């Protein structure tokens, strides 16, 4: 393939030259900063080798915000190209690359790590644990994601970006349709980070099942924990399918096999089935934790117990199970026959039932409560109407014959952005505002936050409502240009304006974070929102070991209960003896091993077999080295616990 790629470096586009320059300047800046301030050692020992779930969560968060920026810039470029008919801002090829990377990055390198950031930061604290079940594996998951994302993004300047759509249907994604290395970047970038995601799924499932604080029964778990549990189960059953599908596509491209080719007996239709068997559950993987976040926030800021807890749990489990039986609705128009289409239409609509139930339960949690309009609550309240309408258009899309008219049109685009932004992104942002004080010890500024909130929200509706209309006007997705004849121009222009409003909202948020670092209201109590769950029972930010004493849980809303009945961390005058705390040691292996994966992935992308083998050998060596390590943990002595607790203002 090497000779087929026109050149190693992508050339010929001023946008890309600009990116080259800014990447080099940023890298140089970071290098100079680290060297000048002698921060290399700090970077290595505090971050690159950490196995602390809180730090890993923060690294996930930073990466996902960076990816949100990249994916967002992609979106703005597309909207600029589509603002007017017959624009020559982007060439067809460039536009195709941009929508491909936009979709892939937003789902796999923005939504997934954002979600994992919240898993990592919140789950152990919320269930009263000191770490996850496999801290080493957790670090590995992060670095695999990191290097996978790095590899994928590298295609922008080296070798050329993938351009066959975010799910890369063959035959277009086969060697004959996409000869360059771009498609290989896609395969390996996702494959490497996907292994990490799978490991995270296993990790948090075991964490939740096995490491809950003493006394916490399954039906006393906070709903966010339940949502993570159901999301993890879905990950465990869906991600292996992605692994296989991408591997098979690579086998086709690398060995010239014929699994998904149109020629020599291959079956492209099978790829479409397989990729959606992962792809549809993936949507529920990212949305379920958002549901959990909303549940926490609605209850906290209505100062009321969540309504219909059992129903909430039950509906999440139904969603994660039903999620496996709806994948065909992504291709009702592939002529699967009336029987098949009817079956999948009804299963798809059926998912609307438990989702609708959740909305009612949130409403009735607020009913007869006392609602405070904090930032997390604002995003939650914005979510409800947005997701309601997005869900309704989802039910409309599920009616198979109606879908024949919506499929691949802008109606579909508007629908899934409404559920993914209105449901997932709003949820994660709400969670970010909610748990930010727990992560960093200060609140995010309210005034700037409201500006961000309103620009985001108004921008959203301005951007996507016209797209429903465009769908009815026959505009299909992925067209890089259109003419004046169809009357699409005004709606597209409005939509572009909305996209830029959302971009401004993002800038407000960056400003908000920077501003709040300096001026944000400090959280000295550890419980800034008058919370209900265990993460609020410890100081903000949480000490390295989270809980000096593991909490003894007696009911659901356990921290609320402790505060009410004055026991546990809310108890008074209790003499507490500390015991040494068992903690995992830091390790450099996850970082090094994931770097080897990166090398292997890069080698295989360019079909430089020697480099691929070198990378794989490195992975093997890292695995063996880890297997031979015996002292992977240590005890924090009582003295140190006392010192730490005193320094964060807790009674010793």
Distance in angstroms between the alpha carbons of the first and the last residue of the chain: 65
Closest distance to another protein from the beta carbon of 223 (Å)? 12
Q: Are 159 and 10 in contact (CB under 8 A)?
A: yes
Closest distance to another protein from the beta carbon of 418 (Å)? 12
Report the residue number, 175 or 463, with the smaller CB distance to another protein.
Answer: 175
92 binds another protein (CB under 8 A): yes
Closest distance to another protein from the beta carbon of 254 (Å)? 10
Binding mask 591-620 for another protein (x = CB under 8 A): -----------------------------x
Alpha-carbon distance of 75 to 425, in angstroms, equals 15
Q: Which of 7, 12, 256, 637 binds another protein (CB under 8 A)?
A: 256
530 binds another protein (CB under 8 A): no
Q: CA angle 385-82-168, nearest 5°?
A: 80
Q: Which of 8, 33, 42, 367 binds another protein (CB under 8 A)?
A: 367
The DSSP 8-state label assigned to residue 476 in this structure reads: B
Q: Are 301 and 377 in contact (CB under 8 A)?
A: yes
651 binds another protein (CB under 8 A): no
| Radius of gyration over every alpha carbon of the chain, rounded to an integer in angstroms | 25
Alpha-carbon distance of 225 to 90, in angstroms, equals 44
Report the residue number, 309 or 597, with the smaller CB distance to another protein.
Answer: 309
335 binds another protein (CB under 8 A): yes
Report the residue number, 314 or 515, with the smaller CB distance to another protein.
Answer: 314
638 binds another protein (CB under 8 A): no
Closest distance to another protein from the beta carbon of 303 (Å)? 6
CA distances 452 to 65, 68, 113, 386, Å, are 15, 15, 22, 17
530-547 as b/e, with b when 16 or more CB fall inside 10 Å? ebbbbbbbbbbbbbbbbb
248 binds another protein (CB under 8 A): yes
CA-nearest of 73, 231, 246, 74 to 148 is 246
What number of other Cβ atoms are within 10 A of residue 618's Cβ?
18
158 pairs with which residues across the strands? 9
Q: Which of 306, 313, 432, 592 binds another protein (CB under 8 A)?
A: 306
What residues numbered 99-128 form the site for another protein, per CB under 8 A? Answer: none
Q: Which of 15, 49, 85, 243 binds another protein (CB under 8 A)?
A: 243
Q: Which of 3, 41, 337, 447 binds another protein (CB under 8 A)?
A: 337
321 binds another protein (CB under 8 A): no
Using CB under 8 A, count the residues that bind another protein.
145
CA-nearest of 348, 237, 353, 221 to 296 is 221
Could you give the 3-state DSSP secondary structure of residue 520? coil
Structure tokens at 628: 């031979």
What residues numbered 204-223 form the site for another protein, per CB under 8 A? Answer: 205-206, 209-211, 214
Q: Which one of the spans 42-50, 238-246, 280-288, 454-462 is the region binding another protein (CB under 8 A)?
A: 238-246
353 binds another protein (CB under 8 A): yes
What residues numbered 422-461 form the site for another protein, per CB under 8 A? Answer: none
Report the residue number, 387 or 508, with the smaller CB distance to another protein.
Answer: 387
Report the residue number, 61 or 221, with the smaller CB distance to another protein.
Answer: 221
Alpha-carbon distance of 263 to 606, in angstroms, equals 24
264 binds another protein (CB under 8 A): yes
Q: Which one of the spans 69-77, 117-125, 181-189, 260-268 is the region binding another protein (CB under 8 A)?
A: 260-268
Q: Which of 450, 544, 549, 554 binds another protein (CB under 8 A)?
A: 549
The DSSP 8-state label assigned to residue 174 in this structure reads: S
Alpha-carbon distance of 397 to 130, in angstroms, equals 45
3-state secondary structure 575-643: CCCCCCEEEECCCCHHHHHHHHHHHHHHHHHCCCHHHHHHHHHHHHHHHHHHHHCCCCEEEECHHHHHH
Question: Strand 633-636 to strand 581-584: parallel, antiparallel, or no bridges (unpaired)?
Answer: antiparallel
Closest distance to another protein from the beta carbon of 108 (Å)? 18
Closest distance to another protein from the beta carbon of 286 (Å)? 19
Q: Which of 120, 234, 245, 594 binds another protein (CB under 8 A)?
A: 245
Report the residue number, 156 or 560, with the smaller CB distance to another protein.
Answer: 560
Report the residue number, 239 or 433, with the smaller CB distance to another protein.
Answer: 239
CA distances 383 to 65, 334, 389, 494, 613, Å, are 20, 33, 10, 22, 48
Binding mask 145-184 for another protein (x = CB under 8 A): ------------------xxx---x-xx---xx-------
What number of other Cβ atoms are within 10 A of residue 304's Cβ?
18
Structure tokens at 313: 């749990």
36 binds another protein (CB under 8 A): no
Q: Are 143 and 594 in contact (CB under 8 A)?
A: yes
369 binds another protein (CB under 8 A): yes
Alpha-carbon distance of 144 to 594, in angstroms, equals 5
Closest distance to another protein from the beta carbon of 281 (Å)? 12
Closest distance to another protein from the beta carbon of 563 (Å)? 13
Alpha-carbon distance of 644 to 469, in angstroms, equals 59
Report the residue number, 150 or 366, with the smaller CB distance to another protein.
Answer: 366
Q: Which of 336, 458, 465, 504 binds another protein (CB under 8 A)?
A: 336
How many CA atoms are closer than 13 Å to the CA of 548, on its beta-carbon side? 24
What residues numbered 456-515 form the site for another protein, per CB under 8 A? Answer: 469, 471-474, 476-482, 486-487
Structure tokens at 452: 């961000």
Query: At 380, phi and psi to the nearest 5?
Result: -70, -40
Closest distance to another protein from the beta carbon of 142 (Å)? 17
What residues numbered 573-592 form the site for another protein, per CB under 8 A? Answer: 574-577, 579, 581-582
């Amino acid at each position: 393939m090497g000779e087929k790629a026109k050149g190693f470096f992508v050339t010929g586009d001023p946008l890309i030259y600009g990116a080259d320059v800014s990447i080099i300047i940023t890298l140089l800046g970071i290098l100079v900063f680290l060297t000048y301030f002698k921060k290399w050692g700090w970077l290595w020992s505090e971050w690159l080798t950490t196995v602390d779930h809180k730090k890993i969560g923060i690294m996930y968060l930073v990466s996902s915000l960076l990816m949100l920026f990249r994916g967002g810039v992609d979106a703005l470029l597309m909207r600029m190209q589509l603002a007017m008919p017959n624009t020559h801002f982007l060439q067809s090829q460039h536009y195709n690359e941009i929508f491909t990377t936009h979709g892939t990055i937003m789902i796999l390198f923005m939504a997934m790590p954002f979600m994992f950031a919240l898993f990592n930061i919140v789950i152990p604290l919320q269930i009263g644990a000191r770490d996850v079940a496999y801290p080493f594996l957790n670090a590995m998951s992060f670095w695999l994601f990191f290097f996978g994302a790095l590899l994928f993004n590298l295609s922008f300047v080296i070798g050329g970006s993938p351009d066959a759509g975010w799910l890369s249907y063959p035959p277009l994604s086969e060697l004959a349709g996409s000869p360059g290395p771009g498609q290989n970047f896609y395969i390996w970038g996702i494959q490497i980070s996907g292994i990490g995601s799978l490991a995270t799924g296993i990790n948090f499932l075991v964490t939740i099942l096995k490491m809950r604080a003493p006394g916490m029964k399954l039906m006393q778990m906070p709903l966010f924990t339940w949502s993570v549990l159901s999301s993890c189960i879905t990950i465990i059953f869906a991600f292996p399918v992605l692994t296989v599908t991408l591997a098979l596509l690579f086998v086709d491209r690398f060995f010239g096999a014929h699994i998904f080719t149109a020629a020599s007996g291959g079956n492209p239709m099978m790829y479409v089935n397989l990729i959606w068997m992962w792809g549809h559950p993936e949507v529920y993987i990212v949305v379920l934790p958002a549901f959990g976040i909303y549940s926490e926030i609605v209850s906290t800021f209505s100062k009321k117990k969540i309504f219909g807890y059992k129903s909430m749990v039950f509906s999440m489990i139904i969603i994660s199970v039903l999620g496996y039986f709806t994948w065909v609705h992504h291709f009702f128009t592939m002529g699967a026959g009336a029987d098949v289409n009817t079956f999948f239409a009804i299963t798809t609509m059926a998912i609307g039932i438990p989702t609708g139930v959740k909305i009612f339960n949130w409403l009735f949690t607020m009913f007869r409560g006392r609602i405070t309009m904090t930032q997390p609550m604002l995003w939650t309240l914005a979510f409800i109407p947005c997701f309601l309408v997005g869900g309704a258009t989802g039910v409309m899309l599920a009616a198979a014959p109606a879908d024949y008219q919506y499929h691949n049109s802008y109606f579909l685009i508007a629908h899934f952005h409404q559920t993914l932004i209105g449901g997932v992104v709003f949820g994660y942002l709400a969670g970010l505002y909610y748990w930010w004080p727990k992560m960093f010890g200060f609140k995010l500024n309210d005034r700037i936050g409201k500006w961000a909130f309103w620009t985001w929200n108004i921008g959203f509706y301005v951007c996507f409502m016209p797209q429903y209309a465009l769908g009815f006007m026959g505009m299909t997705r992925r067209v890089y240009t259109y003419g004046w004849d169809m009357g699409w121009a005004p709606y597209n222009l409005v939509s572009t304006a909305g996209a830029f409003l959302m971009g401004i909202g993002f800038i407000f948020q960056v400003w908000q974070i920077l501003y709040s670092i300096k001026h944000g209201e400090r959280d000295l109590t550890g419980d800034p929102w008058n919370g209900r769950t265990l993460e609020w029972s410890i100081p903000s930010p949480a000490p390295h070991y989270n809980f000096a004493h593991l909490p003894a849980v007696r009911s659901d809303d356990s921290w609320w209960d402790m505060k009410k009945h004055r026991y546990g961390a809310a108890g008074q005058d209790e003499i507490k003896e500390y015991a040494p705390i068992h903690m995992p040691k830091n390790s450099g292996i996850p970082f090094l091993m994931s770097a080897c994966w990166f090398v292997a992935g890069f080698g295989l992308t360019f079909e430089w077999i020697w480099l691929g083998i070198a990378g794989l050998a490195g992975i093997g060596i890292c695995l063996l080295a880890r297997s031979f390590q015996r002292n992977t943990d240590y005890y924090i002595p009582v003295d140190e616990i006392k010192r730490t607790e005193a320094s964060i203002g807790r009674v010793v």
